[in-house]
Amino acid sequence: MSEQSSPAASSVLDAGFASDNVSGVSEEVMAALTAQNSGSALPYGDDAATAALQETARAHFGAQAEILPVFNGTGANVVSLQALLPRWGAAICTQAAHVNTDEGGAPERLGLKLLPQPSPDGRLTPDHVRAAAEDLDFVHAAQPLAVTLTQSTELGTLYTVDEIAAVTEEAHRLGMAVHMDGSRLSNAAAALGTTLGALTTELGVDVLSLGGTKNGAMAAEAVVAIRPEKVPGLSFIRKHSMQLASKQRYVAAQLEALFGTDLWRRNAEHANRQAQRLGDRLAQIEGVRLARPTEVNAVFPEMPPHIAQAVQDRYLAHVWETATNGSPVLRLMCSFSTEDEEIEALVRLAEDAARRA
């Protein structure tokens, strides 16, 4: 299911729970942008903000790490995978992975082959890796030479530390590199009570797409080469993929405001906490149940059709799937700026619809 909707729908419906990228920009991030907006600075990353961000990246991901700011998550993913893979290589992912379902075919348009695996919870396992590896050295098949994990997943699920370690260990044993799509890595680390490095560097992830936009930035993501030797030519690939900013200080300053402080964690904790509140409140309504546990900032309530319709009449709320009983399962997202009053308004609407049935 895509996060996108028609302009007409979004213009008349409350989009507050449609995604975590509908929110505004954190005050701290906006202040960092304002602070950059005076004087001159060298372009293309030869500026003080990018230099500071480089040190911040090394503090999180190890002294060997290199960070390259980019404009968006699709760019971060395709730049990472292009750098990891030779022309004959392919990347193993789940069918539900954002890189497979929501990037408009960008990986394929840029020459990348994806090998999507069925997974009801959106997570790859060592078994998936071993199954795909059966095509290694078979000349008629694209070669599975990388694995891409999404943390947290499009289904709102988390990889535990042990689960990531098991996948990366099997991938490396088979000669594959490991990429992580971390557009919501901050939410995952906050939910698991751990650090960014503990979910990546310490577990064998080679390259990371680090998300900022969904957690309080305006238009700021990054490729983090945790093991730079795995991605030779990365800076050139960023350039010819049209992801190198001239005034890079404005992108770097946003990421530095998030990851150079604890803002990334505070924002993610708030979004996760609000999602838990929303899920708990909705689950108290007669006829409503949660299709899956609320692990990060995504809530998946299964609702009787009349309640779901009442919600969708006012809110931009995606039907993510249909339950076996025919009831729609909505996806509701919370962000760093979701307020208690917004949650209560949606819950009251659902309660009123339940009472009228």
Spatial separation of the C-alpha atoms in residues 288 and 282, rounded to whole Å: 7
Helix (H/G/I), strand (E/B), else coil: 318: strand
User: What pLDDT, on a 0 to 100 scale, did the predictor assign at position 11?
Assistant: 61
| Rounded average pLDDT over 333-346 | 98
**Inter-CA distances, 190 with 151, 269, 272, 328, Å:** 12, 6, 8, 29
Q: What per-residue confidence (pLDDT) applies to 1?
A: 53
Contacts of 301 (CB under 8 A, 6+ apart): 279, 282, 283, 288, 289, 290, 291, 329, 330, 332
pTM, rounded to two decimals: 0.94
Cα–Cα distance measured from residue 238 to residue 79, given in angstroms and rounded to the nearest whole number: 6
Q: What is the pLDDT at residue 357?
A: 75
244-255 mean pLDDT: 97
Which whole number is the average pLDDT over 236-242?
96
Q: Say whether pLDDT at 306 is over 80.
A: yes
Q: Hey, what domains does the chain have and what are their CATH numbers?
A: 7-23+264-356 (3.90.1150.10), 40-261 (3.40.640.10)
The yes-or-no verdict on residue 155 having pLDDT over 90 is yes
Average pLDDT over residues 11-20: 91
Rounded-to-integer distance, Cα 312 and Cα 330, Å? 9
Q: What is the pLDDT of residue 144?
A: 98
Token pair listed for 241: 């993929």
Tens digits of per-residue pLDDT, 30-75? 999 999 999 999 999 999 999 999 999 999 999 999 999 999 999 9
User: Does residue 197 sit in helix, strand or coil?
Assistant: helix
What's the pLDDT score for residue 107? 87
- With b meaning 16 or more CB within 10 Å and e meaning fewer, what string describes 10-19? eeebbbbbbb
CA gap 71, 222 in Å, rounded: 8
Is the pLDDT score of 2 beyond 80? no
**pLDDT-derived band at 244, boundaries 50, 70, 90:** very high
Helix, strand, coil percent values for the chain (each to nearest 5): 45, 15, 40
CA 216/CA 193 separation, integer angstroms:
20
Q: What is the pLDDT of residues 164-201, one digit of tens each?
A: 999 999 999 999 999 999 999 999 999 999 999 999 99
Residue 249, pLDDT above cutoff 90? yes
pLDDT of amino acid 4? 52
Has residue 287 got a pLDDT over 60? yes
> Would you give the DSSP letter of residue 2?
-
pLDDT tens-digit profile of 93-122? 999 999 999 888 998 888 899 999 999 999
**Which element (helix H / strand E) includes 113?**
strand 113-117
Task: Count the alpha carbons within 13 Å of 270 in the hemisphere toward its beta carbon.
Answer: 16
pLDDT in tens, 203-225: 999 999 999 999 999 999 999 99
Mean per-residue pLDDT of the chain: 95
Dist. CA 124–CA 128, nearest whole Å: 6
DSSP-assigned states of every residue in 263-283: HHHHHHHHHHHHHHHHHHHHH
* pLDDT of res. 206: 98
Question: Position of tokens 């996108």?
Answer: 4
| Three-state SS letters, 200-238 | CHHHCCCEEEEECHHHCCCCCEEEEECCHHHCCCHHHHH
pLDDT at 110: 87
**Residues of the chain above pLDDT 90, percent:** 93
340-356 vs 263-283: helix crossing angle, rounded to 10: 20
